[in-house]
Amino acid sequence: MNQPFDDQPVESLIEKNLLKERTILDLRLKYIGDEGMKYLAQCEDLVNLRELKLERNDITDKGIDVLARSTIVTGLKSLGLERNSISDEGVRLITQSPNFSHLITLNLWKNKIGAEGAKAIADSFMLINLERLDLAQNKISDEGGKALAESQTLTALKYVDLFGNGIGEEAQTAIRESINFKTLQHLVLE
């Protein structure tokens, strides 16, 4: 691929940042964008990938769509997408793709996610294994917070961060008292 990312081609970024027997790829702050996501989704070196760190990479819903359709990156257990430009549509793509059905950790801190994205997560049968969910600094509001609290599929959660989402007292109480969060050990609301 000729286009440089972080002043390096994405091929060399993968080569330098693929760790632990090719199961972890750390591309935080590399700014690979949606074009880089296209390369990742087709890169055969990533067939055993279990953890993908993509914080601050200018990724949009288009990049998520490519990853959701990948026939190579299909066994992720941890996906870090902090500080990108992912909206409710990108979250919907994650929640409907079998590629993400093994996820234990999903970090979507500081994206552009609203109540519809939170509802998609709450209703997803693909995310039933999630133990850690970070949606801090989005805009899920009371509606999204209540949807998460009422989720019948997120029952394995141990850690949830919803700080900075405009969730009011009533919705916070519903989240704290949710009978669906039986395994929850750590909750951040404010």
At residue 8, the pLDDT reads 83
d(CA 97, CA 109): 20
At residue 5, the pLDDT reads 53
Residues sharing a CB contact under 8 Å with residue 127, sequence separation 6 or more, in sequence order: 94, 95, 100, 101, 103, 106, 121, 153, 154
Stated as kind and residue range, the H or E segment containing 132 is strand 132-134
The pTM (predicted TM-score) of the whole model is 0.95
Q: Does domain 4-188 have CATH number 3.80.10.10?
A: yes
At residue 4, the pLDDT reads 45
The 3-state DSSP class for residue 70 equals coil
At residue 30, the pLDDT reads 93
d(CA 29, CA 91): 21
Q: Over its length of 190 residues, how does the chain's per-residue pLDDT go in tens digits?
A: 334 455 788 888 998 899 989 999 999 999 999 999 999 999 999 999 999 999 999 999 999 999 999 999 999 999 999 999 999 999 999 999 999 999 999 999 999 999 999 999 999 999 999 999 999 999 999 999 999 999 999 999 999 999 999 999 999 999 999 999 999 999 999 8
What residue segments make up the domains of the chain, in order of their start? 4-188
Residue 18: both structure tokens together:
């693929």
How is residue 141 annotated by DSSP? H
**What is the number of residues in the chain?**
190
At residue 10, the pLDDT reads 87
